Amino acid sequence: MTTQEMYEQINKWKKEKNAIILAHYYQRPEIQDIADYVGDSLALSQMASKTDADIIVFCGVHFMAETAKLLSPQKKVLLPVMEAGCVMANMMREEDIKKYREEHPDTIILMYVNSTARCKQYADVCVTSSNGLKIIDHYAKLGKPMLYGPDRNLGKYAMQKSKDIKLDLWPGFCGIHNGRTKEEVLKAKAEHPNAEFIAHPECKLEVLEEAAFVGSTKGLIEYVTKSECKEFIVGTECGVIHEMEKRCPDKKFYLLSNMFNCFEMKLTHLEDLYNCLRDETNEIEIPEDIAVRARKCVDKMLELSK
């Protein structure tokens, strides 16, 4: 079956089943091209909370589909590849954050969206790379102790941006973002002297300090679209370049490192999406007591993101 034939059949099922396909910017280009909506974690959460569709097929990793299910509990949320996880999300275990909560009852727990629903149930608020600085800043004004996790790098970046922010940091990170170095950036800048370097806040501070702009995947895409610069060294996962090239065919994009390729995100192929929608398999289910508690921190994030 050709890609075009698969697209036609997927579109036919979408109408018959009243289904919507959401895809993260890190997905394969052929998945992004058939999706109804492509976005970052925040935008996809907002879309999941608003859609009238009966079925959401979430092309991304497990915690994202879980977040969609939290926000659309009556809808059927399907994840084409159930094994597609997130290394960073797996760096926080439920028993550890539960213990932290018990030992620090007055601490505000700010939970990066890259976390399981089981961990989110112990948090006060959820954040993404789009709204992280704004929400951390909001809670810093309350003057209470704060924990941020599982991504330590965005937390360090927030503390560097504002002296008023003091965070206890969970020791988690994304392997592919955290693995990038200042030396790699300097080498890429030397190779592309006319290019601006832009980076995602999951990178280490030494990398972010070299960037002309730091932002979420959506923020980075919007930045290159508006910028007058014609060349960019991209400091995040390779999937975003598909959207950047679509929006800016006259500009050049160089990936900082070939290591910027998330194995988990690339587990989903068009055939997986096709089979998943046809058979309505891989439904996300969250025990109701956990969902009720975890939903509160995601709802709080959406309220503060308006």
Interface residues with ligand SF4 (CB under 6 A) are: 26, 61, 86-88, 114, 174, 176, 237, 262, 264-265
The Cα 10–Cα 15 span in angstroms is 9
The Cα 182–Cα 190 span in angstroms is 12
Of 27 and 53, which CB lies nearer to ligand SF4 in the complex structure? 27
AA identity, residue 70: L
What's the closest the beta carbon of residue 214 comes to ligand SF4, in angstroms? Answer: 16
Of 183 and 263, which CB lies nearer to ligand SF4 in the complex structure? 263
Place of tokens 């790098």: 153
The Cα 189–Cα 157 span in angstroms is 22
What's the closest the beta carbon of residue 79 comes to ligand SF4, in angstroms? Answer: 13
What's the closest the beta carbon of residue 285 comes to ligand SF4, in angstroms? Answer: 21
Of 47 and 176, which CB lies nearer to ligand SF4 in the complex structure? 176
For residue 5, the number of C-alpha atoms closer than 13 Å in the C-beta half-sphere is: 3
Of 90 and 227, which CB lies nearer to ligand SF4 in the complex structure? 90
The Cα 127–Cα 268 span in angstroms is 25
What's the closest the beta carbon of residue 297 comes to ligand SF4, in angstroms? Answer: 18
Residues 6+ apart with CB under 8 A from 59: 21, 22, 23, 24, 27, 31, 35, 80, 268, 273
Of 121 and 236, which CB lies nearer to ligand SF4 in the complex structure? 236
- Angle (CA) 32-157-242 rounded to 5° is 15
Question: What is the Cα 120 distance to its own chain's centre?
Answer: 15
What's the closest the beta carbon of residue 184 comes to ligand SF4, in angstroms? Answer: 17
Of 60 and 224, which CB lies nearer to ligand SF4 in the complex structure? 60
What's the closest the beta carbon of residue 100 comes to ligand SF4, in angstroms? Answer: 21
**Lookup: tokens for 196:** 């601006």
